[in-house]
Amino acid sequence: MKKYKIKMNDEHRKIIIESLELNKSLLNFDFNTIVQFVIRETNKQWLNDRLGDILFKDRFPDYIQEAIEKIEKPDMSQAISTPITLKIDDVLLEINHDVFAEREVCTMMNALDLSSRVVCGQLLEVSNVLNFSVARFNDVDVVEKIMRDIKALVFKNLGAYASYGIYNNGTPLKARISYEMIQVLRHEIWKNTEDRYQHVVSSSPVHHETGFPLIEIEFKGEM
């Protein structure tokens, strides 16, 4: 397993921790936390002006709440592979260190990807993450319908499959910083991958437009 040394400042670390915790909430089917994150972090000009009248702090409208309660959550106790929540916990335990296994770097990137996408309106990414991360999950279509309903309430100008771009003038700085971190991390992993493809997004170095200091990563060999 390859290992990497990561140099990050306190803000980088805070964003990574927040993103990891957000992913844990999703994998525990805590959709309320996801929506509260979106409301807190998203540029308010993108949100429904009557949001406070529509979504309450502890409960969704009844038709959404009823759909959530009917989701059949999978039993992970018999999972063959390590549950993704445990992988997240492993990274959280190591987050104050500076050397990480490649799988831990990938866990960070996946978490940052979700947190940066949902604030831009890509709420259907929630169902995508569940589909690819949770074994034997059969209610992906149900979750997708729930997120479409929530998106219709939250984002006033977006259709079900539309979103704001990461470089939109109104995109919150934290989401853009998260995306820059993803670019730096995935490019270094790409550089140290045998038989790598040349014409993939990971081959491109970071597009640094925020002015915020970049996270740094260095390949340190095999563990």
Q: pTM of the entire structure?
A: 0.91
Q: What is the pLDDT of residues 171-190, one digit of tens each?
A: 999 999 999 999 999 999 99
* Neighbouring residues of 74: CB distance < 8 A, sequence distance ≥ 6: 134, 135, 136, 137, 138
Q: What is the pLDDT of residue 55?
A: 77
Mean pLDDT of the chain: 89
Q: What is the pLDDT of residues 93-113, one digit of tens each?
A: 999 999 999 999 999 999 999
DSSP secondary structure string for all residues of 136-175: T---HHHHHHHHHHHHHHHBTT--TT----TT-TTS-HHH
Give the model's pLDDT for residue 193: 78
Contact 102, 2 (CB under 8 A): yes
CA–CA separation, 72 and 93 (whole Å):
30
Measured distance CA(107)–CA(4) in Å, rounded? 13
Question: What is the β-pairing status of strands 99-101 and 216-222?
Answer: unpaired
What is the chain's Cα-based Rg?
Answer: 18
Q: In this model, does residue 150 exceed pLDDT 60?
A: yes
4 beta partners:
100, 219
Sequence-ordered strand ranges (E) for 28-144: 99-101
Sign of CA dihedral 172, 178, 180, 186: negative
